[in-house]
């Protein structure tokens, strides 16, 4: 078992206070958006073996079967298949979707063949992997997830009382729903941004008024209007009104599969995903928006956001069930005097303490203490017991 030294990514949308408070560090006043735990080459965690800080990816590459287990290597190759993060949103992230594995492979191969530089702003596929992900709230967490029913979106947009948006209302009343949603998103993102900006600004102002007035959709209006303040004139505002507004309570989670449009608006949460960086954006961003490729990836299907709550397992953990094979998130909430917890071995795992203090104890008596904001890596063959009082999130492979 190894204590991890992790990197904080300072993206502009990050909170200036949430991560410092969790990690017990003073705030610098600058945005701190994500804490990365894992072996992603963009910001690998370091482990201290034999007195030398070493990237976790190098440790795994030196002996992948011992570190990952034969089943993980057979399924995913000699690399850690998941990336574990803490996400701290102080302002909205972009509206985005992630590709499925087949689309990622084809898109990545095409861009490689065409010689699109990895750092190019128009690059869509940084790797050839899909990116299913799970976000679990550590406090109240607000986001947008999946399409609403088209008739409901039509009602929401009609209430803005903007004449220029009436054609979209009529379109959303058309059938089938998937065609209506596709046509509206295509029209919104293909319009001349400069010409459409005033309409968007007026619509956002109307949404702000409706949010303050109360009513069944007040929270969604207020959230989308607040996001529009960060990106004035961005047509993504209308795309946001097509999506379910979700407010998670601590311990609740969302699973985002391929093609599901979503945006995280504000809050602190732990995030677990397949080890990929493939994102296609559709709004609330100054970055490149590739509309034709986006339309190939988005799944135009109204869906319930599917708020997840953990279920008890035999090892004393609470497990968040998802269809992802690359990862499984579980949580240990240890009360004073509780019997030792025993995370199952056989998979590489990262343990992250969000509250209290816990001790990882091996059979030979070796121990590692994790306080709030600290994490550890365990190879597939390592067995430990958890002692102490606190909350620990565990990332492991679902195989």
pLDDT at 218 over 90: yes
- Is the model's pLDDT at 50 over the cut of 80? no
Q: Which of 281, 328, 331, 334 is catalytic?
A: 281
Q: Check residue 175 and give its pLDDT.
A: 78
The domain ranges of the chain are 2-143+249-297, 148-241, 320-396
Instruction: Say what percent of the chain tops pLDDT 70.
Output: 100
Q: Give yes or no for a cis peptide into 327 (omega within 30° of 0).
A: no
Question: Is residue 314 scored above 90 in pLDDT?
Answer: no
> Which CATH code fits 2-143+249-297?
2.60.120.10
* Distance separating alpha carbons of residues 90 and 14, to the nearest angstrom: 5
Residue 199: other Cβ atoms inside 10 A: 18
- The tokens for 51 are 């007195």
Q: Which whole number is the average pLDDT over 83-89? A: 98
- CATH architecture of the domain 320-396 equals Sandwich (2.60)
For 327-359, give the DSSP string. Answer: -EEEEEEEPTTPPPB----SS-EEEEEEEEEEE
Among 306, 347, 355, 302, CA closest to 329: 347
**CA distances (Å), origin 268, targets 29, 51, 138, 199:** 17, 33, 6, 33
- Confidence bin at 242 (pLDDT 50/70/90): very high
Active site residue 281: yes
pLDDT of residue 56: 97
pLDDT of 52 higher than 90: no
Please count the other Cβ atoms lying within 10 Å of the Cβ belonging to residue 242: 27
pLDDT band at 315 (very low <50, low <70, confident <90, very high): confident
Mean pLDDT, range 347-354, rounded to an integer: 97
Task: Tell me whether domains 2-143+249-297 and 320-396 share a fold.
Answer: yes
Annotation-wise, does 133 bind a ligand? Answer: yes
Q: Which two tokens stand for residue 370?
A: 């994790």
Is 152 flagged in the annotation as binding?
no
| Of 42, 36, 35, nearest in space to 118 by CA | 42
Here the tokens at position 56 are 């976790």
Residue-averaged pLDDT of the chain: 95
> What are the tens digits of pLDDT across the range 358-378?
999 998 999 999 999 999 999
Bridge partners, residue 89, by sequence: 14, 267
Residue 96 is labelled as binding a ligand: yes
Q: What is the pLDDT of residues 96-146, one digit of tens each?
A: 999 999 999 999 999 999 999 988 999 999 999 999 999 999 999 999 999
Give, in order, the Cα–Cα distances in Å from 249 to each of 71, 139, 140: 35, 6, 5
Is 349 known as a binding-site position? no
**What is the pLDDT confidence band of residue 394, given thresholds at 50, 70 and 90?**
very high
Tokens representing residue 7 in the block: 């990197």
For residues 138 and 221, give the distance between their C-alpha atoms in angstroms, rounded to a whole number: 24
pLDDT tens per residue across span 150-206:
999 999 999 999 999 999 999 999 878 999 999 999 999 999 888 999 999 999 999
List alpha helices for the chain, DSSP H: 18-23, 56-62, 64-68, 70-76, 101-113, 150-158, 166-172, 177-190, 193-213, 218-230, 236-240, 291-297
**Per the structure block, which two tokens stand in for 381?**
């063959």
Rounded to whole angstroms, the Cα distance separating 394 from 358 reads 13
């Amino acid at each position: 078992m190894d204590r991890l030294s992790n990197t904080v990514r300072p993206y502009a949308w990050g909170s200036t206070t949430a991560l410092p408070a969790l990690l017990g560090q003073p705030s610098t006043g600058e945005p701190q958006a994500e804490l990365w735990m894992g072996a992603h080459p963009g910001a690998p965690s370091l482990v201290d073996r034999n007195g030398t800080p070493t990237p976790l990816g190098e440790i795994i590459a030196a002996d992948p079967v011992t570190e990952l287990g034969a089943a993980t290597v057979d399924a995913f190759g000699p690399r850690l298949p998941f990336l574990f993060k803490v996400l701290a949103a102080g302002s909205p992230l972009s509206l985005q979707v992630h590709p499925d594995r087949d689309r990622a492979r084809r898109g990545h191969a095409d861009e490689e063949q065409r010689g699109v530089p990895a750092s190019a702003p128009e690059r869509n596929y940084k790797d050839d992997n899909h990116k299913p992900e799970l976000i679990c709230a550590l406090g109240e967490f607000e986001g947008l997830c999946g399409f609403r029913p088209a008739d409901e979106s039509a009602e929401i947009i009609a209430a803005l009382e903007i004449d220029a948006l009436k054609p979209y209302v009529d379109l959303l009343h058309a059938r089938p729903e998937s065609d209506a949603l596709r046509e509206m998103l295509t029209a919104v993102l293909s319009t001349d941004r400069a010409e459409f900006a005033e309409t968007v600004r007026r619509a956002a102002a109307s949404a702000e008024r409706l949010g303050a007035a109360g009513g069944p959709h007040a929270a969604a209006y207020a959230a989308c209007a607040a996001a529009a303040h960060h990106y004035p004139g961005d047509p993504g505002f209308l795309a946001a009104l097509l999506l379910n507004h979700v407010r998670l309570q601590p311990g609740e989670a969302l699973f985002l599969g391929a093609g599901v449009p979503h945006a995280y608006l504000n809050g602190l949460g732990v995030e677990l995903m397949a080890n990929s960086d493939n994102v296609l954006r559709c709004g609330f961003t100054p970055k490149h928006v590739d509309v034709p490729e986006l339309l190939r990836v988005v799944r135009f299907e109204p869906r319930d956001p599917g708020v997840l709550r953990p279920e008890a397992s035999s090892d004393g953990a609470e497990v968040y069930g998802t269809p992802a094979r690359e990862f499984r998130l579980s949580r240990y909430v240890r009360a004073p005097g509780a019997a030792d917890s025993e995370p199952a071995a056989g998979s590489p795992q990262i343990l992250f303490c969000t509250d209290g203090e816990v001790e990882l104890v091996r059979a030979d008596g070796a121990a590692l203490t994790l306080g709030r904001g600290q994490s550890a890596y365990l190879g597939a063959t390592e067995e430990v017991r958890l002692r102490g009082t606190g909350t620990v999130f565990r990332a492991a492979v679902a195989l």
